[in-house]
Structure 1
Amino acid sequence: MIDFFTLEGLPWPRRLWDIGSLLALQELLEAGSWVRHHVLSPAAVDWQRHELLKVIGPDVGLGDKELRAELTSLLSKPLLDPSPAHRRLREVIDHARGGYLSRWAAAAAQPEGRRPQPERLARVVAAHLLDLGYDASHLAAWIGQLAHQRASAEEVLRGAVALDAAAPREFTVLAVLDSAPERAQAESQDSWVSEREVVGWLKQRGHSTSGVRSGGGFCYRVTARDPFSAVSQVRELVERMVARSSFMRGNRGGIRPASQMWVDQHPDPIPFATPARGADVLSLVNEGRLYQVDGQRTLIDDALELAAPVNRGALGPAVAGAWAAVESLLSHPDDPAEEERSGKAVAADRLAAIIACSWPRAELTTLAHRHQPETPDALAEKLATCTANRDRAFAVAEALTAGDTLRLANRFRRDADIAAVHRMRRVVINPKGELATAATVFRIAMRRLYRTRNIVLHGGSTQGAALKAALRIAAPLVGAGLDRITHAALVEGLAPLDLAARAEVGLKLVGGETDLNVVDLLEPRR
């Protein structure tokens, strides 16, 4: 769970890959209205509904009798809006929300063999708390404190149930502006505070005013789950002002927010800038191409430029740019029309295959660097002779297949490494099944990004139950896919569609008669 709430510096394989079941149901409910407005196609929403029906099957938080039966019945047929089934689904979601984590906690208290697996439980709890609106920074502090106290699983779940049951609270947030043009208009707002009032507000609450060069600001009262999510709400208000001020004539500098915001009764200022969303394309640095921009411009150059807003941009440009990059690289005019695919959804499926094939290599390489026994064993000696990450990953895969134990470095992220060992051991033992499951999860995430893009561009809306979660989930995965596409182009000169074909074939052949290994799924055949 610490991994799932870590915002900065966490590799994509260890992040959350999906939203929770309740938010997914709410997303499906909203999708019906977008079909009515011709923003989403019926085929896209039917695919979404069928996949969700599979997801809720093992979700014990959705009950085991009447509630589950009603959900299964409703999801087994189209949910037109308006319709009786659509209205019933809204009511069922409300019933399912109450006691959702309590039902998971009860399942975890069952005897061994009947309780959920630890990683499954961690993903469910983390996704549900984030979906409720808790900020990842707040949840990271919460779970970090429990880890420091060496809390039991029961104590963690008890704390999560309490967070689930807690009602949102009212917070007062001070947003300071470094520059406030058209001052008279700002001063006419009830929430405006002058430079002198800003300094007084900070001093009264024990905050340092050193370095604060205020041009005034706004003091908002918002309802939120925690101080960080309160700041997130106010940040969106300020960003709307900044966007409006960019259209001013003669003052293109516009409104400029200060670097920090403050929350009443919260001890520390909170940065205005949000952490990057985790879309990393490391191949540009690893292959020495970060500054090489002269010469002929390629399709990948265009895609990277389009996707640039995905890390820190506003939701609309981030979603639109990320999907434009994916579609430009992984769709083709001659793609055959398929009933279960709508529009350019084939690009989402191809990217999902590439990501799934890159996952084992990424995790196994990390574990190779983490294996540091006090006395060198056979694996450590073999790793010492490896000159390439491919060989290191292959050595670890062989060790896990043989049932060997990895001796992980005793450092802060050791628990995460232990979880990765269990995960990769399942992959090397049952590669086809585990990778198929991962590819399905990635496909759902990428198609969610595609639907989100259609809602933003064709529906003209950045609101909605799952839009922010869709970008939070998709951004690191898009980065991982672009990284592999970029690497293949730089090292092999391989086109993105050819890499996707290699990935799709690899998922079919891995672990079979051709002896294709999980480490080599994106490599040219040796």
Structure 2
Amino acid sequence: MAPETSANVYDSHVRARMIDFFTLEGVPWPRRLWDVGSLLALQELLEASSWARHRVLSPAAVDWQRHQLLKVIGPDVGLGSRDLRAELTSLLGQALPDPSPAHRRLREVLEHARAGHLSRWATAIAQPEDRRPRPERLARVVAAHLLDIGYDANHLAAWIGRLAHQQAGAEEILQGAIALDTAAPREFTVLAVFNKVPERGQAESHEMWVSSREIAGWLRQRGHATSGLRAGGGFLYRVNARDPFSAASHVRELVERLVARSSFMRGSRGGIRPASQMWVDQHPEPIPFAAPTRGADVLSLFSQGRLYQVGGQRTLFDDALELAAPINRGVLGPAVAGAWAAIESLLSHPDDPAEQERSGKAVAADRLAAIIACSWPRAEMTALSHRHQPPTPDALAERLAVCETNQERASAVAEALAAGATLDPADRFRRDADIAAVHRMRRVLSEPRKELGTAVTVLRIALRRLYRTRNIVLHGGSTQGVALKAALRIAAPLVGAGLDRITHAALVESLAPLGLAARAEVGLNLVGGETGLSVVDLLEPRH
């Protein structure tokens, strides 16, 4: 094994974080990707200005978005260092109504920024070690960019998995990402099979229709098993996509549109019923028709034994959980609308003061961001406590062995990290991800207000993006927003985390959501100060 050097640590950090960002199942919310790339954020701003012209979004909401974007694009070296950056900064410093000269100029500048974005990052990481961007930022930028341009997380997980197996360095990863970025979308043939096909005559007249006999032949020619398949027919779609999984995702959306149409049929309310799998030509395995869950978990319902306790009078939490339920697997429009309805019902109040920089009920997003940011260190420290299993028990392991609660475990890890201790998990794959978490938590412990403030900013942007997309869906009547998929992908685990904390506070303390939000906002201002408030106790009641 190669000796552990700073370069090896940098490379393993980048690989581990990208594995986290592309893994759809089993990665907890604190280790997921919380933001989109700068290029999509700029495109989103252009779109928001157009929606403001139609009065779907307010000018105040667009101005807030523009001001926040001006702050967050600063560390993105992919946006240039001189002329390009100066032009972007100048444009983001002024209003961008659509139409206007500034709006048209930003659209042009965006195309200049798009060309060579990852190449500029490749140049940045070729610098001497002390001038390299942080591995965390590099991993986030590359992962967000590849997802934003249309690659599916499953495809990217396989790609980074191969590079991790080869112990590829950051430079090699960047070159691979550049190759993916510059590769043009290609045509895929996707077989969508249906178990039930009402109004069969209309289906059979479609040029892409294939009979059950033709389906069996198509599958056998490509080496797929047909035993147990009971197909009523299907369609062979041809779609342009970045990879086989994104092609399947595109066809999944087409079929969901068919299912939505068929639900309006008289006398056949079951409608079209797709099979459980799809097949992409030249892809070796069938792809599940059901989309992967989006990762919104409310674990307090299980830990507090309340999963089946739904009798009696409905509560605000019952309504919120029911509204938010589509966020995990529902189609885009209802998922966005339901998730935001749950947030707004819990974290807004008629007496909220009107503020210039807030639009509508955006205060609910800000409050949820504070709650999630306060729960982040505790969640990470608790996970690290369960991963700390050195071959020979050390002082931390001995202390963890007698801890009775997660709060005690998180506090033990926080104190050990602050004192300079390291974690030594047994298996290498998780070790890289845990060491990356150790680096993040050490920064939080050393500068809690700064690091938590940064987290709040990122979370607030993500949740206000969800609010904007909800307004575009409900008030604009459109599910075609440039950031709609990204908004839901990013926000779903965060909404789950926030609802989990709100539910826990209600079940354990009978604390209302607005009370928890107030505790979080105060905690963010006092952490690390004269009160001795710890980063793992930000949502705990003070005794």
Mapped partners of 1:58, 1:431: distance in 2: 20
Measured against aligned partners, the alpha-carbon deviations of 1:3-32 in whole angstroms (never above 9, x if no partner) come to 000001210000000000000000001011
Identify the match of residue 160 of structure 1 among 145, 167, 177: 177
* 1:325-404 to 2 correspondences below 5 Å: 325-404=342-421
Q: Does 1:251 align with 2:268?
A: yes
What amino acid does structure 1 have at the position aligned with 2:498?
A: G
Residues 314-356 of structure 1 deviation map (CA, whole Å, 9 limit, x = unaligned)? 0011000000000000000000000000000000000000000
Deviation at 1:296, TM superposition (A): 2.3
Shift of 1:156: 1.0
- Structure-2-length-normalised TM-score: 0.96
Q: Which residue of 1 aligns with 2:278?
A: 261
Structure 1 stretches of 4+ with a deviation exceeding 4 A read: none
1:96 corresponds to 2:113? yes
Aligned to 2:104: 87
- Report how far residue 295 of structure 1 moved: 2.2
| Equivalent of 2:208 in 191, 200, 209 | 191
Deviation at 1:409, TM superposition (A): 2.8
Q: Name the aligned partner's letter for residue 346 of structure 1.
A: V
- Partners of 2:193 and 2:232 within 8 A in 1: yes
The answer on 1:277 being equivalent to 2:294 is: yes
AA partner of residue 118 (structure 2): L
Deviations 1:231-265 (A, max 9, x none): 11111111000001011111111100011111111
One-letter amino acid matched to 2:152:
D
| Deviation for aligned residue 1:118 | 0.6
2:94 is matched with 77
Rounded to whole Å, the distance in 2 between the matches of 1:28 and 1:453 is 15
Letter in 2 for 1:188: S
Choose which of 434, 439, 445 in structure 2 pairs with 1:422.
439
Instruction: Render the CA deviation track for 1:51-106: whole Å, top value 9, x for unaligned.
Output: 00011111100011111111111100110000111111111111111111111011
After TM superposition, the structure 1 stretch with the greater mean CA deviation from structure 2, 326-335 or 403-412, is: 403-412
Q: 225, 237, 243: which one pairs with 2:242?
A: 225
Q: 3-state DSSP class of the match of 1:446?
A: helix
**Number of the residue aligned with 1:446:** 463
Structure 2 SS opposite 1:519 = coil
Indicate yes or no: 2:222 matched with 1:205: yes
Q: Distance in 1 between matches of 2:169 and 2:360?
A: 48
Q: Does residue 149 of the first structure (1) align with residue 166 of the second (2)?
A: yes
Report the alpha carbon displacement of residue 412 of structure 1 after superposing the two structures with TM: 3.2
Equivalent position amino acid for 1:135 in 2: D
Amino acid at match of 2:133: P
- Farther off after superposition, 272-281 or 198-207: 198-207
Deviation at residue 228 of structure 1 after TM alignment: 0.4
Aligned CA-pair RMSD:
0.7
Count of residues paired in the alignment: 526
Normalised to the residue count of structure 1, the TM-score between the two structures is 0.99
Structure 1: 5+ residue stretches without partners? none
C-alpha contact 2:348 2:363 (8 A) present in aligned 1: yes
Identical residues among aligned pairs (%): 82
Tell me the distance in 1 between the aligned counterparts of 2:153 and 2:311: 40
In structure 1, the residue matched to 2:10 is none
Could you tell me which residue of structure 2 aligns to residue 115 of structure 1? 132
- Helix, strand or coil: the match of 1:435? helix
User: What are structure 2's unaligned runs of at least 5 residues?
Assistant: 1-17
Which secondary structure does the structure 2 equivalent of 1:337 belong to?
A: coil
Rounded Cα–Cα distance in structure 2 between residues aligned with 1:10 and 1:462: 28
Of the three residues 49, 52, 57, the one matched with 1:32 is 49
**How far apart are 1:411 and its partner, in Å?**
5.0
Deviation at 1:464, TM superposition (A): 1.8
User: 2: distance between equivalents of 1:481 and 1:254?
Assistant: 36
Counterpart residue type for residue 482 of structure 1: L
Q: Which stretch has the larger CA shift, 274-283 or 185-194?
A: 185-194
Deviates more, 1:500-509 or 1:196-205: 196-205
Provide the residue aligned with 1:65 in structure 2.
82
How big is the shift at 1:505? 0.1
Q: Does 1:290 align with 2:307?
A: yes
Q: Secondary structure at the match of 2:296?
A: coil
